[in-house]
Structure 1
Amino acid sequence: FKKPCLKPLSLLLCLTPMSLCHSKLSCKEGHSGPTYESMQDVFDLKPFRPAVNLSNPTIANISFTLYAVLGVIISSLFLMNLLQYWHNEFLVWEPDECDGVTRISLPVMHLWSPDIIVYDVDDDVSQACPYVYVNHTGHIRWDRMLRLVSACNLKIFSFPFDVQNCTFTFGSYMVSPALTFIEMSSNSKRYLEASGEWELVDILGETSILQFGIDEWDIITFWVVIKRRPVLYVVNLLIPSSFLMLIDILSFYLPPHSVDRASFKMTLILGYTVFLLIMNDLLPSTANGTPIIGIYFSVCLALMVISLLETVIITNVLHHNSMKYREVPNWVRVVVLKHIANLICYRWPEDSQLCQQSLLPGTAAPPELQQICQYLGDLRDHLTSLKKESELQEQWCHVGYVLDFLLFRIYLLLISCYALVIIFMWCIWISQ
């Protein structure tokens, strides 16, 4: 080395048997690579930073490749390969003197390594690679497969079309990125293209300096932007829910005077409730808010309950009021049978007239014929009474049908507006 050992620590390093301050690693003839004895002297210097002149900084360069997003529920679990590069000025040799060997692997536990600290992480349960790769110029590469649990601020309102932004912060006394952020993002996208339900959008970053008193730390902050693939949730959640809502809409075409419509809607609500219980395990549960898809399911359930309530009202109009044989109020005739019926274009056949016949006045008849006429008159009165009851039932049926048509169209309007709002909001999130 050109620079002399001037400082006390450098003088201490110069007292080693191999005289590291003035020579390179030695090699024996017939052996590939540096000798064990020369490297053992380097291992003994593990507590000291590997610089001949301590005024020269040792810069640690880092980069990472994101391999998988293992889970995003309350926190985010990432699997990444962290690459660390630094220069050890003591591990230098001539390849020509060492049988052409240009790179070797050594146990990292015997070498000095930079103190890289990962912030914004709950737990690191990864196992570091026990070996590093060293080339003949003294440059070291250490691959570490990290399984990091990052406490991201999850935004799940737009689930399953949500985009998450997770932060990783790396710090050391002197650290800098080994690759550009664009290159890191490109390398990670190759591994995440067909992996899991998450898609990597981009990896952004910046470098800064953090000062603690007189100490200064270099900080590298990475922002990992990931987007959920929504196909699984659309197929398993949205499409079945839409089918159930479609069946509920079609149930309005059942005869309103039939009790089967009410029982059918109650069975449908029960089935939708079971669907919500099963679906609950697929939705993310955080304290940050409720996803809009959860609100969507709740509103769908509320609409189905409203649909059942409409059936109950129509059933009451058709059966309860008609069984009392009460006249249809005049205001109901005007409002429902005239204005609302014209508004929704409801038409019904004209009422048939009952033909009445009577005996000619002044006609004399024998007693037997008079008794027959009396029986016929009683029968006519009974038939007239039945016809009146039938007319009353028919009038209430018209009222019920008109109200059913009206409420059905209002129900369709509500569902259409609600579906358009949901589709519009999700289209905006998908295009982002």
Structure 2
Amino acid sequence: MTGGKTAWLICICFSLLQGSVAALNCTSPTPDALFDALKKELFSRNLQRPVKSFSDTLNISIYIAVSGILGVDEQAQTLTVFLWQVMEWDIAGLSWDEKECGTTRVSVPREKLWMPDIFISEFMEEDNSPKTPYVYLYNTGRVSDDKPIRVVSSCKLDIYTFPFDIQNCSLTFGSYLHIAEEIRVNQSLTYAEVQESKLLQNKGEWELVDIEAGQTNLEVPEGSYSSVKYYIIVRRRPLLYVVNLLIPSCFLVTVDLFSFLLPPDSMDRSSFKMTLILGYTVFLLIMNNLLPVPGETTPLINVFFSITLTLMVTSLLETVLITNIQFSSGKYGAVPPWLSVLVLEYLAVAVGLPPKKKSNCITVSLHSPAEAMNTSTISSRDLQSDSDAKPPVKPLLEPTLDELRKLSRDLTAIRLQMDTHFQGSKTKQEWQLVGIVIDRLLFFFYIVFISVSFITIICIWDTAEV
């Protein structure tokens, strides 16, 4: 009976110790003695998960520190960062006495220990960071794996508010093969400690805003996979794009706005605006490499440039219209009464121009041109009848009457020509006044549209920064 109990206890102890490592006994406090014990008790078991039984769960603690943000590719939708990753786990049953073995920790080669298959789910390229061949092993059985990682991860980038955009990219650390019952991944730092792990020192295009972490589980038919997800929030430094893109564009729009102060009847105004459009087009072509490649959404800065170019083209078309009115108004007919009342009396007051004053000069015509002709005709007939009734006059009167008739016809023609000339001058002057009023009105609309558009875009950018 006693022998049966002894065998049973031996079986229990053997099952508990199966897969575990016993406490190390060092013959002397020297490195040779410690590594001889590790080679005998630990290094020979590097193929098995360091737990006492298959049903035990191995807890792996992990945390990261961001050392550098190498770049963001808007077209490929990737984030490249340089991390410092620290993983820790315990080898069940392993321990040694500090005084007996001479140290509390020792560095051992990676290939001598069982290593967890922790990977980043968002990996897009192979890690080409420097490889660290050693890990720390403590006398309590804890393993500390501290290594750098260059991560090229997939990230859904939103460049709508470029260059004032903030990106939130996630890095999910979990086991590739083992389910949560075998390996459980935990976050080793609290939220406050995660905030202090921002080691970013570089002054490149991107700056680290925040790091957040959370525990997640991936449910699959085979079971649940444990993982820790870190959220890396980065913000672009916009100074380069503000100085090289936005400020020059605002300057060109301002110059185009002040070009309305040029006289509308000057051909230099249209030439000046065409030069501005050409210069702005060349500017956009040169700075095109600074703009992001649009994806699902069009960046707001592209809308800004489109609005700016549209305003310049609209301003040129308005100048063409006004110039045509100023120089070709002599070919038009009289201004329609409704247009004259609407523009010269109401719109002129609205845009700050004095209304058209009516002339106090009154042209009095005693005879119409037809009546003048008839008068000259009657006068010659009367003269003829008088000449028939009366005795014949001297022969010198006949040439004088002919000259008077010619003079009357010439004066009548001159009068008609002068009336036509003054009527045309009056029509041209009214059309020119219409052009000036329309030019001033469109100038006010131009200012309002620019102000509303720019204020809206600035508000959207400011909201995005917050």
TM range (shorter): 0.7 to 0.9
How far did 1:384 drift? 7.9
Tell me: CA distance 1:213–1:402, structure 2 relative to 1, closer, same or farther (3 Å): closer
1:356 deviates by: 9.8
Distance in 2 (alpha carbons) for counterparts of 1:175 and 1:243 = 55
Which residue of 183, 196, 217 corresponds with 2:204?
196
- Contact 1:24–1:90, Cα closer than 8 Å, also in 2: no
**Is the aligned partner of 1:278 residue 2:286?**
yes
Query: What's the offset of the Cα at 1:52?
Result: 5.1
Amino acid at match of 2:89: W
Q: Secondary structure, in 3 states, of the residue corresponding to 2:149?
A: strand
Match of 1:113 among 112, 115, 119: 115
The alignment-based identity, stated in percent, is: 37
Partner of 1:187: 197
What is the aligned counterpart of 1:261 among 259, 262, 269? 269
2:463 is aligned with 1:428: yes
Is 1:6 the counterpart of 2:10 in the alignment? no
Residue matched to 2:178: none
Matched, 1:171 2:174: yes
**What amino acid does structure 2 have at the position aligned with 1:395?**
E
Equivalent positions of 1:3-402 (< 5 A) are: 5-7=13-15, 10=17, 21=22, 23-24=23-24, 26=26, 28=28, 31-32=30-31, 34-41=33-40, 42-51=42-51, 56-72=56-72, 73=74, 74-89=77-92, 92-99=95-102, 101-127=103-129, 128-172=131-175, 173-188=183-198, 190-191=199-200, 195-213=203-221, 215-322=223-330, 324=331, 326-347=333-354, 391-402=426-437
TM-score by length of 2: 0.76
**Native 8 Å contact 2:349 2:355 kept in 1:** no
- CA change 1:354–1:196 in 2 (3 A) is same
CA RMSD of aligned residues (A): 3.4
- Separation (CA, whole Å) in 2 of partners of 1:280 and 1:134: 54
Distance 2:270 2:25 in 1: 90
1:84-131 CA-to-partner distances (Å, cap 9, x unmatched) read 1112357633332344x3332222122111121221222232334221
C-alpha contact (below 8 Å) 2:104/2:139 kept by paired residues: yes
Per-residue displacement from partner, 1:195-222 (whole Å, max 9, x unpaired)?
3232333222322333444544212122
On the 8 A contact 1:70/1:78 being kept in 2, the answer is yes
Could you tell which deviates more after superposition, 308-317 or 67-76?
67-76
Task: Indicate the structure (1 or 2) with the bigger Cα radius of gyration.
Answer: 2
Q: Secondary structure at the match of 1:49?
A: coil
Contact 2:259-2:269 at 8 Å conserved across structures? yes
Q: Between Structure 1 and Structure 2, how many residues are aligned?
A: 406
Letter of the aligned partner of 1:229 in structure 2? R
Shift of 1:60: 1.1
CA distance in structure 1 between the aligned counterparts of 2:294 and 2:192, rounded to whole angstroms: 32
Query: Following the alignment from structure 1 to structure 2, what is the Cα–Cα distance between the partners of residues 122 and 411?
Result: 49
Per-residue CA shift, 1:369-402, capped at 9, x if unaligned? x999999999999888776665544333222211
Q: Name the counterpart of 1:362.
A: none
- Retained in 1: the 8 A contact 2:34–2:101? no
Give the whole-Å Cα distance in 1 for the aligned partners of 2:226 and 2:336.
85
Contact 1:181-1:204 at 8 Å conserved across structures: yes
| Residues 1:79 and 1:158: Cα distance change in structure 2 (over 3 Å) | same
Distance 2:411 2:25 in 1: 132
Relative to 1, partners in 2 of residues 1:332 and 1:138: Cα closer, same or farther, differing over 3 Å?
Answer: same
Contact 2:194 2:212 in 1 (8 A): no
Report the more deviating stretch, 378-387 or 211-220. Answer: 378-387
Q: For residue 141 of structure 1, give the secondary structure of its aligned residue in structure 2.
A: strand
* Alignment-derived partner of residue 16 in structure 1: none
1:52–1:428: structure 2 CA closer, same or farther, 3 Å change rule? closer
In 2 relative to 1, CA 306–59 (structure 1 residues): closer, same or farther, beyond 3 Å?
Answer: same
Deviations 1:14-72 (A, max 9, x none): xxxxxx52x4152546x457544333333232112234566554321100011222222
**Cα distance change of structure 1 residues 406 and 213 upon mapping to structure 2, 3 Å threshold:** closer
Q: Judging changes above 3 Å, is the alpha-carbon distance between structure 1 residues 80 and 259 closer, same or farther for their aligned structure 2 residues?
A: same
Does the 8 Å CA contact 1:68/1:195 hold for their aligned counterparts?
no
Counterpart of 1:177, as a letter, is Q
Shift, 1:252, TM fit: 0.6
CA positional deviation for 1:289: 0.9
Question: CA–CA distance in 1 between the matches of 2:289 and 2:82?
Answer: 24
SS in 1 for 2:124: strand
- Gaps (5+ residues) in structure 1? 14-19, 359-366
The aligned residue for residue 364 of structure 1 is none
| Counterpart residue type for residue 67 of structure 1 | S
Contact (CA 8 Å) 1:59, 1:174: kept in 2 or not? yes
Unaligned runs of 5+ in 2: 1-10, 176-182, 366-399
